[in-house]
Amino acid sequence: MANNKYDGSDIQILEGMEAVRLRPAMYIGSASSSGLHHLVKEIVANSIDEALAGFGKKITVILHKDDSVSVIDEGRGIPVSLNKEKNISTARAVFEYLHAGGKFKEDGAYQVSGGMHGVGVTVTNALSEYLTVTICRDGKIYTLQYEKGGKLKQDLLVTGTTNKTGTTVRFKADILVFKSGIEFKYDVLAAYLQENAYLLKGVKFILINEKNKNSEEVFYYENGLKDYIAELTQSQTKKIGQIAYFEDNKGEIKSEIALQFCDELYSDGDNDKYLISFANNIRTKNGGTHVSGFKAGLTQAINDFAFANNLLKGKERLEGIDIYEGLVAIISVKIPTGSKMELQGQTKDSLNTPEVQPIVKAFIYEQFKYYLSENKKFSLELIEKCYASKKAREAARKAREDSKKIRASIKQDIILSDKLTPAQSKDFEKNELFIVEGDSAGGTAKKGRDRLHQAILPLRGKPLNVESANDAKILQNEEIQTMINTIGAGIKKGFNVKNCKYGKIIIMTDADDDGAHIQTLLLTFFYRYMPQLIDLGMVYVAYPPLYRVSKEVSKKMQQIYAWNDEELDAAKKRIGAGYRVSRYKGLGEMDAIQLKETTMDPKTRTLIQVAIENDMAVNKSIRTLMAGSDTSAERKQWVLSNIDFTLKDSFVKETAND
- Number of other residues whose CB lies within 10 A of the CB of residue 477: 16
Instruction: Check residue 586 and report its DSSP letter.
Output: S
- Number of other residues whose CB lies within 10 A of the CB of residue 153: 12
In sequence order, which residues have a C-beta less than 8 Å from that of residue 1 and are 6 or more positions away? Answer: 54
Please identify which of the residues 432, 437, 467, 479 carries the catalytic annotation. 437
Cα-Cα-Cα-Cα dihedral sign, residues 619, 621, 626, 628: positive
Please identify which of the residues 512, 535, 601, 658 carries the catalytic annotation. 512
Contact yes or no for 40/191 (Cβ under 8 A) = no
Please report how the helices 356-374 and 289-308 are oriented relative to each other, as an axis angle in degrees rounded to 10: 30
Contact yes or no for 95/121 (Cβ under 8 A) = yes
Please identify which of the residues 138, 349, 514, 601 carries the catalytic annotation. 514
Query: Please, which residues bridge with residue 204 across strands?
Result: 58
* Euclidean distance between CA atoms 220 and 194, whole angstroms: 8
Residue 26 phi, psi (nearest 5)? -65, -25
Instruction: Check residue 623 and report its DSSP letter.
Output: I
Please identify which of the residues 432, 510, 613, 615 carries the catalytic annotation. 510
Can you list the positions of beta strands (E) in 100-214? 128-137, 140-147, 151-161, 166-173, 204-209
* Euclidean distance between CA atoms 511 and 589, whole angstroms: 12
Q: What is the SS3 assignment for 613?
A: coil
CA separation, residue 377 to residues 71, 290, 502 (Å)? 48, 29, 49
375 burial (CB, 10 Å; 0-12 / 13-18 / 19+) is middle
Residue 110 Rama label (left phi>0; alpha psi -120 to 50; beta): beta
Residues making up the chain, counted from first to last: 658
Which of these, 139, 146, 85, 156, lies nearest to 121 by C-alpha position?
A: 146
Query: Does the annotation mark 418 as catalytic?
Result: no
Residue 447 phi, psi (nearest 5)? -75, -30
Which of these, 240, 233, 264, lies nearest to 378 by C-alpha position?
A: 240
Contact yes or no for 292/353 (Cβ under 8 A) = no
In sequence order, which residues have a C-beta less than 8 Å from that of residue 576 and are 6 or more positions away? Answer: 551
CA separation, residue 602 to residues 365, 449, 596, 605, 654 (Å)? 52, 11, 9, 6, 10
Residue 391 phi, psi (nearest 5)? -65, -40
Pairing type for strands 69-73 and 58-63 reads antiparallel
* Euclidean distance between CA atoms 605 and 198, whole angstroms: 43
Strands across the sheet containing 580-583: 556-562, 547-553, 580-583
Query: What number of CA atoms fall less than 13 Å from residue 636's CA on the CB side?
Result: 11
Query: Does the annotation mark 268 as catalytic?
Result: no
* Euclidean distance between CA atoms 102 and 6, whole angstroms: 8
Query: Does the annotation mark 601 as catalytic?
Result: no
Please report how the helices 513-529 and 478-487 are oriented relative to each other, as an axis angle in degrees rounded to 10: 60
Contact yes or no for 343/351 (Cβ under 8 A) = yes
Query: Does the annotation mark 437 as catalytic?
Result: yes
* Euclidean distance between CA atoms 187 and 191, whole angstroms: 6
Please give the positions annotated as active site: 437, 510, 512, 514
